[in-house]
Amino acid sequence: MLKGIRGMFLDFVDDPFYEDEKKCVRFLADGLLVIENGTIKELGLYENIFSKYRNCQVDHYPGYLILPGFIDAHVHYSQMKIIASYGKKLLDWLGSYVFPEENKFKDYEYARAAASLFLDELLRNGTTTAAVFTTVHPQSVDAFFEESNKRDMRMIAGKVMMDRQAPHYLLDTTEQSYEESKRLIRKWHGNGRQLYAVTPRFAITSTRQQLNMAGRLKEEFPGVYIHTHLAENVDEIRLTLDLFPDCADYVKVYEESGLVTDKSIFAHGIHLSDSEMKRLSKAGSAVAFCPTSNLFLGSGLFNLAKAKSRANPVHVGVGTDVGAGTTLSLLRTLDEAYKVLGLQNQKLSAFKGFYLLTLGGARGLSLEGKIGNFDAGKEADVVVLDPRTTSLQQHRNSHHPQPLSNIRDVSEQLFALMCLGDERVVVKTYVAGSVLYSRN
């Protein structure tokens, strides 16, 4: 069955970090997106194509901006309840707040309720895909995927592995972790829109034996992802290198176990040497830039220009990293990204920012063929945004004509959205063509 969405469309067809921004943006002041069975059939100017789809039911959003669903490149569904926990840096914060909360996810029902709430919050924020940490408990993975599958959301997740440097109640063993992960991969990877990530928490909490086992899983199931943390905090790095004295740097720790791949997602990567960045580039790995988290934990400032260099380009997505991150809104996360970069004399234009949330994020997660823009054949994950939600936004944007007609106005309005926006601006969230969130 056909269904249509009409309004101002904006998406990206190329990477504005490397190509002329204007050529990367596709903007249709009055467009029609046609969806068939959850998949995009066509995007075109309304006046050019509507006659082909006369019998198609159309949701019309005059004055709103319609973008591909947002992609959160790194987030912990198990940490939503400990968001905004006071006063610690990474390692102490884990011990004081995270581990006690994660322990509760041994209870399947607790995990399932948390997953349901979390996914609904993502939808409220316009996020349709995420790379998600669960906990060490396999039931927390089942719970997550059950809920995600129910909503037909394109999600990446996997069982956390930890066999040391955490409370005993959260530790697994190499063998157990291997068996459980294998079962979960078979059950969930490619089940509907669900995708599996082999997920050692980080090098500190896994022995070499466990990291090697993670690499073995990736060999046995080449389609799965690797998802872990990397170079977030200076104390973490020091401890990592103490624990792996034969490794010259942090990336080497993961390389040794075959974990630096073109489907690896590394959260943070704040403190990486040129050599490490170069090796991530060569491997085709992705880094998740999590500015609200990096500021909240005082971890440091991510160097985006270095990651997106022409010489050694690394895929970058944006992560909220809740519970260390302070918001599930990727708009608020872009506001913080702009600031983190401004402190380093780097500028994040609106187009670059929204590219990272959509096509850039999709590329980072090796999902460019499935999601990230409105190309025909992709899955119809769509977010409808109202740039005049709050009284301040109404005042700020009152001089823009409606619909927007030139790319400069579009850019300015997007920038205001990324500075002033939050979940309130999300009017509708479509997942595979169905409305799963509706404002009010």
Q: Which residues bind a second copy (CB under 8 A)?
A: 80-81, 83-84, 86-87, 117, 120-121, 124, 292, 295-298, 300-301, 326-328, 335, 338-340, 342-345, 347, 349-350, 390-392, 395-396, 411-412, 415-416, 419-420, 422-423
- Please, what is the minimum distance in Å from the beta carbon of residue 54 to a second copy? 40
The single residue listed with the structure tokens 């939050």 is: 422
Exposure of 257 in the CB half-sphere (CA atoms within 13 A): 26
CB count within 10 Å of CB 438 equals 12
For a second copy, the closer of residues 264 and 292 by Cβ is 292
| DSSP for 302-317, written as a single string | --HHHHT-SSS--EEE
For a second copy, the closer of residues 225 and 415 by Cβ is 415
- Please, what is the minimum distance in Å from the beta carbon of residue 415 to a second copy? 5
- Please, what is the minimum distance in Å from the beta carbon of residue 373 to a second copy? 23
b/e 3-18 (16+ beta carbons within 10 angstroms → b): bbbbbbbbbbebbbbe
**What's the chain's Rg over C-alpha atoms?**
21
156 DSSP β-pair partners: 131, 195
The single-letter code of the amino acid at 129 is T
Positive/negative CA dihedral, 313, 411, 387, 435: negative
For a second copy, the closer of residues 49 and 419 by Cβ is 419
- Please, what is the minimum distance in Å from the beta carbon of residue 327 to a second copy? 8
For a second copy, the closer of residues 67 and 340 by Cβ is 340
Burial (CB count <10 Å: 0-12, 13-18, 19+), residue 29: middle
User: What phi and psi values does residue 438 have, to the nearest 5 degrees?
Assistant: -140, 125
Q: Which of 439, 437, 440 is nearest to 70 (CA)?
A: 437
- Please, what is the minimum distance in Å from the beta carbon of residue 416 to a second copy? 5
**Residues 42, 157: Cα–Cα separation, whole Å:** 30
C-beta separation of 13 from 68 below 8 A: no
Tokens in use for 209? 């034996």
- Please, what is the minimum distance in Å from the beta carbon of residue 282 to a second copy? 31
CB count within 10 Å of CB 107 equals 15
- Please, what is the minimum distance in Å from the beta carbon of residue 339 to a second copy? 4
For a second copy, the closer of residues 264 and 327 by Cβ is 327
For a second copy, the closer of residues 361 and 421 by Cβ is 421
Residue 128, CA distances (Å) to 178, 197, 311, 362, 380 in order: 29, 17, 32, 11, 10
- Please, what is the minimum distance in Å from the beta carbon of residue 166 to a second copy? 23
For a second copy, the closer of residues 278 and 339 by Cβ is 339
For a second copy, the closer of residues 366 and 411 by Cβ is 411
**Residues 164, 174: Cα–Cα separation, whole Å:** 11
CB count within 10 Å of CB 336 equals 22
- Please, what is the minimum distance in Å from the beta carbon of residue 147 to a second copy? 15
Tokens in use for 423? 């979940």
- Please, what is the minimum distance in Å from the beta carbon of residue 236 to a second copy? 15
For a second copy, the closer of residues 12 and 93 by Cβ is 93
For a second copy, the closer of residues 51 and 391 by Cβ is 391
The single residue listed with the structure tokens 């669903």 is: 69
For a second copy, the closer of residues 188 and 338 by Cβ is 338
Q: Which of 239, 233, 228 is nearest to 294 (CA)?
A: 233
- Please, what is the minimum distance in Å from the beta carbon of residue 349 to a second copy? 7
- Please, what is the minimum distance in Å from the beta carbon of residue 125 to a second copy? 9
**Residues 295, 278: Cα–Cα separation, whole Å:** 25
Q: Name the CA dihedral angle for 335, 269, 210, 132, rounded to a multiple of 10 degrees.
A: 20
For a second copy, the closer of residues 211 and 322 by Cβ is 322
